[in-house]
Structure 1
Amino acid sequence: MPVLVITGTGTEVGKTVATAAVAAAAVAAGRSVAVLKPAQTGVGPDERGDADEIARLAGDVTARELARYPEPLAPATAALRAGLAPVRPHEVAEAAAKLATEHDLVLVEGAGGLLVRFDADGGTLADAASLLGAPVLVVVTAGLGTLNTTELTARELRTRGLDLLGVVIGSWPAEPDLACRCNVTDLPETAGAPLLGALPEAAGALPPPAFRSLAPTWLAPRLDGTWNASAFTGREAPAPFTGGGA
């Protein structure tokens, strides 16, 4: 798995922090890691982007951006409004393939969801993954609505013949509600792929040394971690309803 594409079911699902955790776990396992952010939006020229944040949290990783646009919009729209060249899927694939010749693992972090457009021709992260022949990791939310967005993403990956490696919950609340506790058991069936981790909420606010130390405990062995899905699911599953009916 020299290249792993990481997408989310939408924005603000914890994708960047999850990518940092995957990177940190791989580094802890002795692998050299590069992180590629094809299109960074919503930051100025001198501001830190997602790739920089991943490097800050994960430690010794190579961080690279292909393009950045100042407005917090989909990359195609942000590029058009800024009068800048868009990123094309083949450019993403070429950059990731080059990094893969120099690193054990390359993580390609998308912007928002799988089908967010990079350019006016409709190129997406899914197209880049197809060109690379790379598996895709999907970062999902824990609460109400996640089953729908997860299944839609999984169906699109299957339609395109892409390998869905698994799903990771980007932010697991300290006090999960009923929906969260049910979803954690339903997500693997909905996705048709294993649950490969769950990051605690506010994980990205941890000091980097603590983040790097704990990251492997949030991820399954497939992602160089020690997290056990069966144990987590059993512990967090809701108690059965025992009330009577009217």
Structure 2
Amino acid sequence: MILVVTGTGTDVGKTVATAALAARAPGSVIVVKPVQTGVLPGEVGDVDDVRRLAGCQVSEFVRLPDPLAPDSAARLAGVRLPTVAEHASRIRRLAEDFDTVIVEGAGGLLVRLDSADGTILDLADALSASVVIVVAAGLGTLNHSELTVGALRARGIEPAGLVIGSWPSHPGLAEETNLVDLPRVTNLPVLATIPAEVGSLGRSAFTAAAPTWFA
């Protein structure tokens, strides 16, 4: 199984959501980050956080130092990014050795993943992958979620569902209302609601709690 995890934007809790999905996936699991930006060599990146939380194997294909969209960061660094087709080929090879491959995107669905305008959407399409969308809890999430779902459906991809990636400990009116309205406006289930603070947990506590966040 290949699962692509995308978000409605940056800072919606995509990495912790990816770790939670990995923690409850059956069989052998690897999490792949095709392009990591904003992290220098030797620094902790998203896959390192996933490995710390979920304890699964991870793979990062390309790392770029500037905190920008992958194609912009690559252009500034003078680096050629692999094409979506090259990423897809490498991920398919991993799928031969693992029961589940979870691919964590960068930013939102239409962020350019390579230097030829290929996107996370193109990668999901090329892989015929299931797609989970990580969404914010607060104001603006209904619009962002509908736009992301609409872009997937326009490509003929029906998302598996939504994950609220960072649920506040004291939700307000917007958050409580969005919990009801997200499935209504997207016609998709909310698969999980992940508490905001769980990224600081140790591995044992995280993996023990992860199943309780899913519907």
**Is structure 2 residue 211 aligned with structure 1 residue 212?**
no
Q: 1:25 is aligned with what amino acid?
A: R
Q: Which runs of 4 or more aligned residues in structure 1 lie more than 3 Å from their structure 2 counterparts after TM superposition?
A: none
- Aligned mate of 1:58, from 42, 54, 57: 54
Kept after mapping to 1: 8 A contact 2:84/2:123: yes
Matches within 5 A, 1:32-111: 32-59=28-55, 61-111=56-106
**Aligned partners of 1:193 and 1:93: how far apart in 2?**
26
Kept after mapping to 2: 8 A contact 1:141/1:171: yes
Superposed displacement of residue 120, structure 1: 3.1
Residue in 2 that maps onto 1:239: none
**Aligned partners of 1:116 and 1:34: how far apart in 2?**
23
**Aligned partners of 1:194 and 1:177: how far apart in 2?**
21
Kept after mapping to 1: 8 A contact 2:80/2:115: no
CA offset digits 1:51-84 (Å, max 9, x no partner):
111011001x221011010000000000010011
- Aligned mate of 1:121, from 97, 102, 116: 116
Q: 1:205 is aligned with what amino acid?
A: S
**Is structure 2 residue 169 aligned with structure 1 residue 170?**
no
Q: Secondary structure of the equivalent of 1:127? A: helix
Q: 1:83 is aligned with what amino acid?
A: G
Kept after mapping to 2: 8 A contact 1:66/1:87: no
Q: Secondary structure of the equivalent of 2:82? A: coil
Compute the TM-score of the two structures, normalised by the length of structure 1.
Answer: 0.85
Q: Which runs of 5+ in 2 are unaligned?
A: none
Aligned residues: 215
| Larger Cα-atom Rg | 1
Kept after mapping to 2: 8 A contact 1:170/1:199: yes
CA offset digits 1:176-210 (Å, max 9, x no partner):
10011110011112222111000011110112210
**Aligned partners of 2:140 and 2:175: how far apart in 1?**
10
Residue in 2 that maps onto 1:21: 20
Q: Secondary structure of the equivalent of 1:53? A: helix
Aligned alpha-carbon RMSD (Å): 0.9
Superposed displacement of residue 91, structure 1: 1.8
Kept after mapping to 2: 8 A contact 1:80/1:86: no
Q: 1:121 is aligned with what amino acid?
A: A
Residue in 2 that maps onto 1:185: 180
Kept after mapping to 1: 8 A contact 2:5/2:134: yes
Percent of pairs with identical residues: 53
**Is structure 2 residue 135 aligned with structure 1 residue 140?**
yes
Q: 2:171 is aligned with what amino acid?
A: P
Residue in 1 that maps onto 2:10: 11
**Aligned partners of 2:86 and 2:105: how far apart in 1?**
13
**Aligned partners of 1:210 and 1:159: how far apart in 2?**
39
CA offset digits 1:12-63 (Å, max 9, x no partner):
000000000000111xxx411011100000011111211111011001x221
Superposed displacement of residue 98, structure 1: 0.9
Q: 1:87 is aligned with what amino acid?
A: P
